[in-house]
């Protein structure tokens, strides 16, 4: 064996002991009658056991008065690890658990030191976790470490070093995480790094209507507050249930706690009776989302003020002492629960509270008695006010007047 020949794999911790080997010596005869012996042996050295060990071959022969030997020192070298890129999820979410995994492949011997570090935007590095000789040293409570080990058929090793944490926008966005290894057998140091881009998923509050009552023909104004998102760029759109986009406006994103942002978006829509039970949707698109996020609101209550046709008199024009019927058609109201009142001048002569929709005419019989037309010209008024409309209009009903002289 050549002096100093390098053998693969292993640290000097050897013993003086015979090797358990199988040898196949080849003896050949020379022309002058002497013999040669070629002896070969094959070993798989271990760095831990054989590096720096002395291998001696002893020969015993009848022509020798004592044993003769030759010695060689074994120089076993290791194979350095190869680091692959740190595995990181496509989206890193604020305050959601994150695992960074660093594959470390094809090294031997097994002894290895692993250190995770964090480099801030000011290039200051901080040790987070150190693994050495099977023991973890955690420098910061925010982090935990797990190591998966595998031994291959060629006695090489592969590790996966996993660092787990909950990143935040203020502490981790733009920070660089580093996995650094040192292999004592080869004195090889290597590192790989990953820059974190931390995002925060927007939260959507419930949609609210700006005014308490929604009236047919008026604008329905809806508002939605979107908060706790990062970065501040965000797109908010409004739709009806049939995917018609509505005109909308959003405030500029404003900062809140923990480096996050909020905005308020509003939309306006002119209501018709057909819109009752219609669903409105506020949709948000943000870099933190793989799919848009939305919240919905249903128009469950609507008010349509009643329309009163002119009061009709039958037969008409009336004669003194004649019985006549005054009627007024009430339509286009919702909800259909009007309170109907008839007045003669300022005196109420009829009142009825109706339930359910009652389109059509509301008749009342009025008998005109013998009054002097020049001083007692009667004036009649019919009013209708649905309960919800009275609440909306502060008690002001719809009315129609008729006057006969």
Which SS3 state, helix, strand or coil, does residue 316 take? coil
Tens-digit pLDDT profile for residues 271-292: 998 999 999 999 999 999 999 9
pLDDT of residue 240: 96
Condensed to tens digits (0 to 9), the pLDDT of residues 353-365 reads 766 555 443 444 3
Please say whether the beta carbons of 221 and 211 come within 8 A. yes
Q: What is the DSSP track for 238-282?
A: EEETT--EE-EEEPPPEE-GGG-EEEEEEEEEE--GGGTT-EEEE
- Among the listed residues 298, 278, 135, 286, the one whose alpha carbon sits nearest the alpha carbon of residue 203: 286
User: Minimal CA–CA distance to 113: which of 10, 185, 47?
Assistant: 185
Contacts of 60 (CB under 8 A, 6+ apart): 67
Which of 203, 166, 159, 206 is closest to 183 using CA atoms?
Answer: 159
Residue 350 has what pLDDT?
A: 78
Per the DSSP assignment, residues forming a β-bridge with 327 are 312
Question: Which letter, b or e, does each residue of 358-395 get, where b requires 16 or more Cβ atoms within 10 Å of its Cβ?
Answer: beeebeeebeeeeeeeeeeebebbbbbbbebbeebbee
pLDDT for the residue numbered 348: 82
pLDDT of residue 35: 84
- The tokens for 308 are 């009163």
Report the predicted TM-score, pTM, of the whole model to 2 decimal places: 0.71
**Domains parsed from the chain with CATH numbers:** 6-77 (no CATH), 82-199 (2.60.40.10), 203-298 (2.60.40.10), 307-403 (2.60.40.10)
What's residue 400's pLDDT?
Answer: 60
Looking at residue 141, its pLDDT comes to 84
The parts of the chain modelled with pLDDT lower than 70 are 1-23, 134, 136, 354-405
Residue count of the chain: 405
Query: How confident is the model at residue 394, as a pLDDT?
Result: 39
E runs forming strands in 74-143: 75-77, 82-83, 92-93, 98-107, 113-119, 125-132, 135-138
């Amino acid at each position: 064996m050549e002096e100093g020949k390098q053998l693969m794999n292993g640290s000097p911790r050897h013993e003086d002991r015979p090797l358990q080997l199988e040898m196949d010596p080849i003896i050949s005869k020379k022309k002058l009658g002497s013999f040669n012996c070629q002896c070969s042996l094959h070993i798989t050295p271990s760095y831990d056991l054989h590096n720096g060990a002395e291998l001696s071959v002893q020969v015993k022969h009848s022509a020798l008065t004592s044993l003769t030997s030759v010695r060689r020192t074994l120089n076993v070298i290791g194979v350095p690890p190869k680091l692959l890129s740190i595995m990181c999820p496509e989206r890193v979410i604020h305050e959601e658990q994150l695992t960074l995994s660093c594959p470390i492949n094809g090294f031997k011997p097994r002894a290895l030191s692993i250190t995770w570090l964090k480099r801030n935007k000011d290039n200051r590095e901080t040790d987070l976790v150190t693994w050495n000789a099977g023991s973890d040293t955690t420098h910061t409570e925010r982090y935990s470490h797990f190591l998966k080990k595998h031994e291959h058929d060629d006695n090489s090793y592969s590790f996966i070093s996993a660092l787990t944490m909950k990143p935040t926008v203020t502490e981790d966005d733009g920070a660089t995480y580093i996995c650094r290894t040192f292999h004592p057998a080869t004195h090889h140091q290597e590192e790989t790094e990953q820059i974190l881009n931390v995002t925060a998923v927007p939260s959507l509050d419930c949609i609210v209507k700006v005014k308490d009552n929604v009236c047919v023909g008026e604008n329905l104004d809806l508002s939605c507050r979107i908060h706790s998102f990062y970065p501040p760029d965000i797109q908010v759109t409004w739709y009806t249930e049939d995917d018609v986009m509505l005109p909308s406006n959003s405030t500029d994103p404003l900062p809140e706690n923990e480096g996050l942002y909020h905005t308020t978006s509003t939309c306006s829509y002119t209501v018709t009776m057909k819109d009752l039970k219609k669903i409105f949707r506020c949709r948000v698109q943000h870099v933190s989302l793989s799919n848009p996020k939305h919240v919905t609101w249903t128009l469950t209550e609507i008010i349509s003020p009643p329309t009163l046709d002119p009061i009709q008199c039958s037969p008409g024009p009336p004669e003194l002492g004649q019985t006549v019927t005054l009627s007024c058609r009430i339509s286009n109201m919702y909800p259909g629960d009007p309170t109907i009142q008839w007045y003669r001048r300022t005196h109420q002569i009829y009142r009825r509270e109706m339930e359910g929709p009652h389109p059509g005419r509301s008749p009342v019989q009025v008998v005109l008695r013998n009054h002097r037309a020049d001083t007692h010209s009667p004036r009649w008024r019919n009013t209708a006010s649905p309960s919800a409309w009275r609440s909306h209009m502060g008690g002001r009903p719809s009315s129609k007047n008729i006057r006969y002289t």
